[in-house]
Amino acid sequence: MLGWRLRLIDHVMMLLEHDAKSLLAETGIPVPAGTLAHSPEAPTTPTPAGPWIVKAQVPVGGRGKAGGIVTANDPQGLKSALARVLGSSIKGHTVLDCRIEEAVRGLECYLSFTLDPAEGRIRVMASDRGGMDVEAHAAGGALSSCDADYSADAVAQAVRVLVEDFGEPVRSALRAAAQPLASAFFALEATLLEINPLFVRADGTWVIGDSKLVVDDNALPRQPRLTELVRTRARAYPEIALKLAHGFDFVVLDPAGEVGLVTTGAGLSMQLIDEIVERGYRPFNFCDIRTGQFRGDPARLIQVLRWIADGPAIRSVLMNFFAGVTHLGELAQLLVVALKAVPELKVPITLRIIGNGYDEATAILRAAGNPVLVEPDLERALDVCLEPLAQIKRNASPGPAA
């Protein structure tokens, strides 16, 4: 749950390696030739010359140690590697795609830029020893770091200073890589760019071995290439694609969750999720749908209710609306329409509302005959919402021994 929490609060989007490399290559940064495969027989573009590295495309680190990175020397070996990796599970993520990449070699180095939003500065880190054991190298003091001002030139200069004592050809290669990587970091409005390993060849040229690129999803309106990528690769980025298509956040946290949430405000939504978990129940989703976006149209409410109704274990729904500009009477009318449009949602619904027009809203709901329990107190609303689940638990518990 913590991983989801960080993603939701920070509004970050971690690009899969294939997509990150494609974007970086478009800026002129050297990356190994590669293609994407969804099955052992069907890469999306012609496969580069072998030998190859087959890489599972999942949004987690440590793929190599988990068996998600495999070498292949001939076509049959490539097909076998794809068959082994595709469909496997790595840290809870099913591998849907693999990147087939030409194998490259060189000295393994490390370079990363991380945004510190509180300070408005960039943490720059570099090491002449990268790869899977970079954390051990860092613990041994082989990782140099400093903070830089918020500009590509300042970050590039910081790299040049950090690598001053590195041996050749690593020093020259990292200095050459500093400016193009820093420029790409800012051009893509990234919050993290980590290159590990960055391969340095004997002649001093360099190429990206692996990359972790994280961007702020709020930057998507200013990033047409990123927006295009999300839309064409919606299967890989379902939550971000959903936000682009519908204009609000809805994330399934637990497909077997029991409590559906229709809520406004990311912070309060996360608070409700925390409280539901602390009480021993499983929230189905996160939702941040702003009442001001409704504009008299129930379409967004209908869509959210349909998504929740698809949850196979949903037993109760909690709605929480803190209406500022939107009059609660208008909200109640939209809710009545939405509930009629989703008759498959046949579970108790608790509505906690605060704002202008409370009495009118409750009157509209009563007149419509909807089975919605209205409760203005948040804690009480949570109690009411979870009572059906508590009753199920009580009924399932064995009675006292005779």
Report the C-alpha gap between 374 and 136 in whole angstroms: 55
Say which CATH architecture domain 33-103 belongs to: 2-Layer Sandwich (3.30)
Each as own residue / partner, the long-range contacts of residues 113-121 (CB below 8 Å, 24 or more positions apart, any chain) are: 113/155, 113/181, 113/182, 113/185, 113/190, 113/192, 113/193, 113/194, 114/191, 114/192, 114/194, 115/190, 115/191, 115/192, 116/147, 117/191, 119/147, 120/150, 121/147, 121/148, 121/149, 121/150
Q: Which positions of the chain have pLDDT values less than 50?
A: 1-10, 402
Count of other CB atoms within 10 angstroms of residue 197: 22
Which two tokens mark 100?
């087939």
Model pLDDT, residue 218 = 79
Cα–Cα nearest to 372, from 385, 360, 383: 385
pLDDT attached to residue 151: 95
Q: For residues 287 and 293, is the Cβ–Cβ distance under 8 A?
A: no
**Residues whose CB is less than 8 angstroms from the CB of residue 390 and which lie 6 or more positions away in sequence, other chains included:** none
* pLDDT at position 325: 66
Q: Which of 282, 253, 289 is nearest to 3 (CA)?
A: 253
| Single-letter amino acid, residue 277 | V
What residue spans in the chain does CATH classification 3.40.50.261 cover? 247-395
At position 5, the amino acid (one-letter code) is: R
- Of 22, 58, 4, 17, which is closest to residue 228 (Cα–Cα)? 22
Task: Give the pLDDT of residue 191.
Answer: 93
Work out the number of other CB atoms within 10 angstroms of the CB of residue 66. 16
Is CATH 3.30.470.20 correct for 1-31+105-235? yes
Q: Please state at what angle helix 299-309 crosses helix 328-341, rounded to 10 degrees.
A: 50
Report phi then psi at 70, rounded to 5.
Answer: -135, 140
pLDDT, residue 71, reads 94
Q: Do the Cβ atoms of 268 and 379 come closer than 8 Å?
A: no
Contact between 321 and 269 under an 8 Å Cβ cutoff? The reply is no
- pLDDT for residue 292: 63
Structure-block tokens of residue 3: 């991983």
CATH 3.30.470.20, the chain: domain bounds: 1-31+105-235
Closest CA to 66 of 46, 33, 94: 94
The span from the CA of 182 to the CA of 222, in Å, is 19
Longest CA span, the chain: 83
Q: Which of 235, 280, 232 is nearest to 257 (CA)?
A: 280
Place of tokens 């496997």: 88
344, 309 Cβ separation under 8 angstroms: yes
CB 128 within 8 A of CB 141: no
Name 67's Cβ contacts closer than 8 Å, sequence gap at least 6.
84, 85, 88, 90
DSSP state of 218: G
Please give the structure tokens belonging to residue 390: 């508590």
Residue 6: per-residue pLDDT: 42
Residue 19 φ/ψ region, left for φ over 0, alpha for ψ in the -120 to 50 degree band, beta for the rest: alpha
* 247-395 CATH: 3.40.50.261
* Dist. CA 79–CA 85, nearest whole Å: 10
d(CA 55, CA 133): 18
- What's the CA angle centered on 108, arms 105 and 114, to 5 degrees? 130
Residue span(s) of the chain under CATH 3.30.1490.20 come to: 33-103
Distance CA 171, CA 102 (A): 25
Q: Minimal CA–CA distance to 294: which of 261, 264, 317?
A: 264
**Which strand (E) or helix (H) includes residue 72?**
strand 69-72
Q: Per residue in 162-200, pLDDT tens?
A: 999 999 999 999 999 999 999 999 999 999 999 999 999
Residue 402: predicted pLDDT: 46
Query: Quick one: tokens of 268?
Result: 């309060």
Output the six-digit token pair for 226: 């990123």
- pLDDT 10s digits, 308-343: 999 999 999 999 987 666 788 888 999 999 999 999
